[in-house]
Amino acid sequence: MQEELGIFSQGKIILIDKPLTWSSFDVVNKIRYAIKKYEQKKKIKVGHAGTLDPLASGLLILCSGKMTKQIEQFQGQEKEYIAQITFGFTTASYDLETELENPKDISNLTLPQIEIALKDFLGEIDQIPPIFSAVQVNGKRAYQSAREGEKIELKSRKITISELEILDSDISEKKADKMTISLRIICSKGTYIRSLAHDLGQKLKTGAHLSGLRRTKIGEFKIEDAQTIEEFLEKWKPIEKLS
């Protein structure tokens, strides 16, 4: 693999299957450190093309070297997600980062009702980001203000959702306090799946939050072509110097 020394400095696209609890920056830092050791360099550019929350897993595009110039292009491509949306409770963060609250009666909720409600979220829509997000308000991240108990208002933004498909649900099981669907989503840059979950719950008057999320596609890049962090580290171990 001697001929591959410098491959990352020259520019490379790296597809990683981000694990749960890792931030996108955690992944970038880990991969950058491994690349520096492999190429025996003090500095190398590595960045990601679209953040995934710590509570989400799936496809993360990393770019190194000269390919970092393409990051904005990758960020603008359509993305596909598989989301678990749970009805019956809301949370302040719209996902499981914060506690369940506001229990609602879901005894009359049906799958056809959800399917009909989802139609209103297709196409170009106005969406308000979650308060627990990285959106900047007056030079400060919204999540910082939210955690400090400050009241802030976020402006809506135009996003496009081109496909919504229910893959599975436990609606028929009629659980007493909550029900969950698995939803495939194809959407534009800037879409918050947490907001989609929350807004769907508000529309159905049942409350809802995002209980799981996996990104499966960005443009033509698929999760099937991604490698785990462990696989990357194993493949790109530093080359031992001959004595």
Q: What local confidence, expressed as pLDDT, does residue 135 receive?
A: 62
Q: Is residue 199 among the annotated active site residues?
A: no
Task: Give the global pTM.
Answer: 0.90
Q: What local confidence, expressed as pLDDT, does residue 73 receive?
A: 93
Q: What is the CATH number of domain 2-76+221-235?
A: 3.30.2350.10
Residue with structure tokens 């893959």?
Answer: 167
pLDDT in tens, 18-75: 999 999 999 999 999 999 999 988 899 999 998 898 999 999 999 999 999 999 999 9
Please tell me which residue in 53, 170, 177, 225 is annotated as part of the active site. Answer: 53
Q: What local confidence, expressed as pLDDT, does residue 145 receive?
A: 55
Phi then psi dihedrals of residue 120, to 5 deg: -75, -10
Q: Which CATH superfamily is domain 79-218 in?
A: Pseudouridine synthase (3.30.2350.10)
Long-range (24+ apart) CB contacts under 8 A made by 236-239 are 236/34, 236/35, 236/38, 237/38, 238/37, 238/38, 238/40, 239/1, 239/2, 239/5, 239/38
Report the alpha-carbon distance of residue 158 to residue 233 in Å, rounded. 39
Q: Which regions of the chain are under pLDDT 50?
A: 1-3, 241-243
Q: What local confidence, expressed as pLDDT, does residue 134 receive?
A: 63
Whether the CB-CB separation of 166 and 182 falls below 8 Å is answered with: yes
| Fold agreement between 2-76+221-235 and 79-218 | yes
Domain ranges for the chain, please list them: 2-76+221-235, 79-218
Q: What local confidence, expressed as pLDDT, does residue 139 receive?
A: 61
